[in-house]
């Protein structure tokens, strides 16, 4: 039996697409192998958000070929979509595919041998329909990612993703419901709705006013699914109607990853973000007023072109004031083809590093404050894996990692836990 191994970089959408492609290989008789093991086919699913992502992709391409010089190396995803010739020029690569037509990957692999090089990348901007690749299982046994949308038309000045993913394409609602029902029948308790720009769901569907809220309502009625979680979302989603609706649905997790990028209005304008810090704070306040124990996480970019010390200080003070549960801090990375890459006043690496470290320290402080508010309270935790002798790790509804001790195997169960201690990036609790 031939073996296939996947290495996945980047976002939850990539993780979903890897699982979908793996199922396609398994249906054709391939056996899954780990990336560190021998395989006949290695698939690297790439990300291109930063230069570091590109570099990691190239490193893994070369590393995989060393494991089996006769293997087929297939490279897919965002990096290969925007730079197909660059990828194809790497000696070890045999097949380059972009961010569409992944359902043909097994067919394409079968056509070639280890001495040939093929690229199937087409103009993603011409793609108008969502690519359906249904999955029935994912790598985890309790929490499943569900891709409902692709593409983005926001064109933030720093972001290469609209060029890698194309226009907004929404998945058919019936298809979403069917896949979630399959996942529920296979024992999954939580589904994470993901996409490139989830808040845009439905805007491309002609003669229809269907929106993301309609998707959530449909999934909320599916028996067996106990949790519905949203991946990263834009502030535009959180209208009064949306917040009021999700606050009344018990299955919707009180956790929202609300993209910020900067806490300074001048920087946000240069980024072409379509909100102000005042509007963002109003949304945070709206969520906190409507949803008890809501956790709000975010992304922040430091060192964006033109970010002065004064602008960074505004970002720092804004984040200190609103006390978000967690933030992913990124040092700005110029992406060729984006407006920001040619802006004046690029920030030096040392300054980016210092600003990143300062926000990471604030992040620790904010998480500790949030954790303190959870002490001695009881939360439902979905346990996913064993992490040590009699220790199990899981997530609360509001997406906080919790570790407890148990003599019994509690994996894949939702159990009530009382929080007893706050650690650096997780909480400790006891089973109730």
pLDDT average per 10 residues of sequence, the chain (432 residues) = 95 94 96 92 96 93 90 97 96 96 95 86 96 79 92 97 97 96 93 96 91 97 96 92 96 97 99 98 97 96 98 99 97 96 97 99 97 97 93 97 97 96 96 96
Rounded Cα distance, 303 and 312, in Å:
8
> How many other C-beta atoms can be found within 10 angstroms of the C-beta atom of residue 193?
23
| Residue that the structure tokens 């439902």 belong to | 380
How confident is the model at residue 6, as a pLDDT? Answer: 97
How confident is the model at residue 236, as a pLDDT? Answer: 87
How confident is the model at residue 54, as a pLDDT? Answer: 94
The answer to the question of residue 137 being in a domain is no
Give yes or no: residues 97 and 46 share one domain: yes
Give yes or no: residues 98 and 176 share one domain: no
Give yes or no: residues 227 and 338 share one domain: yes
Give yes or no: residues 257 and 203 share one domain: yes
Give yes or no: residues 204 and 66 share one domain: no
Terminus-to-terminus CA distance in the chain, angstroms? 47
Q: Say how many CA atoms lie within 13 Å of 307 toward its Cβ.
A: 29
Distances (CA, A) of 251 to 112, 192, 417: 46, 12, 18
Rounded Cα distance, 145 and 302, in Å:
29
How confident is the model at residue 139, as a pLDDT? Answer: 67
Rounded Cα distance, 333 and 411, in Å:
39
- CB-CB contact of 386 with 409 (8 Å): yes
Q: What angle do CA 195, 198, 202 make, to 5 degrees?
A: 110
Q: Residue 427 pairs with which residues in a beta bridge?
A: 402, 422
The answer to the question of residue 194 being in a domain is yes
Give yes or no: residues 395 and 413 share one domain: yes
Q: What angle do CA 239, 248, 201 make, to 5 degrees?
A: 45
How confident is the model at residue 207, as a pLDDT? Answer: 83
Give yes or no: residues 19 and 76 share one domain: yes
Residue 397 sits in which domain range? 378-431
Residues 6+ positions from 235 with CB-CB distance below 8 Å? 258, 259, 275, 279, 280, 283
Give yes or no: residues 321 and 184 share one domain: yes
The answer to the question of residue 134 being in a domain is no
Distances (CA, A) of 322 to 136, 282, 295: 40, 10, 12
Among 356, 373, 390, identify where a domain stops. Answer: 373
Give yes or no: residues 59 and 196 share one domain: no
Phi, psi of 14 (to 5 degrees): -60, -40
The answer to the question of residue 132 being in a domain is no
* HEC per residue, the chain: CCEEEEEECCCHHHHHHHHHHHHHHHHCCCEEECCCCCCCEEEEEECCCCHHHHHHHHHHHHHHHHHCCCCEEEEEEHHHHHCHHHHHCCCCCCEECCCCCHHHHHHHHHHCCCCCCEECCCCHHHCCCCCCCCCCCCCCCCEEEEECEECCCCCCCCCCHHHHHCCCEECCHHHHHHHHHHHHHCCCCEEEEECCCHHHCCCCCCCCCCCHHHHHHHHHCCCCCCEEEECCECHHHCCHHHHHHHHCCCCECCEEEECCECCCHHHHHHHCCCCCHHHHHHHHHHHHHHCCCCEEEEEEEECCCCCCHHHHHHHHHHHHHHCCCEEEEEECCCCCCCHHHHCCCCCCHHHHHHHHHHHHHHHHHHHHHHHHHHCCCEEEEEEEEEEECCEEEEEECCCCEEEEECCCCCCCCEEEEEEEEECCCCEEEEEC
Give yes or no: residues 363 and 389 share one domain: no
Give yes or no: residues 279 and 351 share one domain: yes
CATH number, domain of 361, equals 3.80.30.20
Among 330, 349, 373, identify where a domain stops. Answer: 373
- In the chain, the number of structural domains is 3
The answer to the question of residue 135 being in a domain is no
CATH number, domain of 50, equals 3.40.50.12160
Residue 330 structure tokens:
């990124």
The answer to the question of residue 136 being in a domain is no
How confident is the model at residue 115, as a pLDDT? Answer: 76
The answer to the question of residue 131 being in a domain is no
CATH number, domain of 415, equals 2.40.50.140
Give yes or no: residues 106 and 229 share one domain: no
Rounded Cα distance, 30 and 232, in Å:
33
The answer to the question of residue 317 being in a domain is yes
Phi, psi of 426 (to 5 degrees): -155, 170
């Amino acid at each position: 039996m031939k073996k296939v191994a996947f290495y996945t970089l980047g976002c939850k959408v990539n993780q979903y697409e890897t699982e979908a492609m793996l199922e396609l290989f398994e249906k054709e008789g391939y056996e899954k192998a780990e990336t560190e093991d021998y395989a006949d086919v290695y698939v690297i699913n790439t990300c291109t958000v930063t230069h570091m992502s590109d570099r990691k992709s190239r490193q893994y391409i070369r590393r995989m070929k060393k494991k089996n010089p006769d293997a087929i190396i297939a490279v897919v995803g965002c990096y290969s979509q925007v730079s197909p010739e660059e990828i194809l020029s790497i000696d070890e690569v045999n097949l380059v595919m972009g961010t569409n037509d992944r359902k043909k990957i097994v067919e394409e692999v079968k056509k070639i041998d280890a001495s040939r090089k093929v690229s199937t990348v087409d103009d993603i901007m011409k793609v108008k329909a969502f690519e359906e690749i249904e999955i029935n299982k994912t790598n985890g046994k309790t929490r499943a990612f569900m891709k409902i949308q692709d593409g983005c038309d926001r064109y933030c000045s720093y972001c290469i993703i609209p060029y890698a993913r194309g226009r907004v394409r929404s998945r058919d609602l019936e298809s979403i419901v069917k896949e979630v029902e399959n996942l529920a029948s296979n024992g999954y308790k939580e589904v994470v709705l993901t996409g490139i720009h989830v808040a845009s769901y439905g805007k491309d569907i002609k003669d229809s006013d269907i929106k993301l809220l309609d998707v959530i309502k449909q999934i909320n009625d599916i028996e067996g699914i106990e949790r519905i979680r949203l991946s990263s979302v834009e502030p535009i989603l959180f209208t009064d109607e949306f917040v009021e609706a999700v606050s009344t649905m018990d299955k919707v997790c009180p956790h929202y990853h609300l993209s910020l990028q900067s806490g300074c209005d001048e920087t946000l304008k240069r980024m072409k973000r379509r909100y102000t810090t005042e509007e963002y704070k109003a949304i945070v306040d709206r969520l906190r007023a409507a949803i008890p124990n809501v956790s709000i996480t975010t992304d922040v970019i430091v060192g964006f072109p033109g970010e002065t010390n004064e602008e960074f200080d505004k970002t720092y003070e804004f984040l200190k004031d609103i006390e978000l549960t967690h933030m992913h801090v990124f040092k700005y990375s110029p992406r060729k083809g984006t407006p920001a890459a040619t802006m004046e006043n690029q920030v030096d690496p040392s300054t980016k590093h210092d600003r990143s470290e300062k926000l990471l320290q604030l992040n620790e402080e904010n998480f500790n404050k949030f954790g303190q508010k959870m002490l001695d309270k009881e939360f439902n935790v979905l346990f996913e894996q064993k992490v040590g002798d009699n220790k199990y790790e899981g997530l609360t509804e509001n997406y906080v990692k919790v570790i407890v001790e148990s003599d019994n195997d509690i994996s894949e169960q939702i159990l009530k836990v009382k929080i007893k201690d706050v650690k650096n990036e997780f909480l400790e609790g006891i089973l109730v």
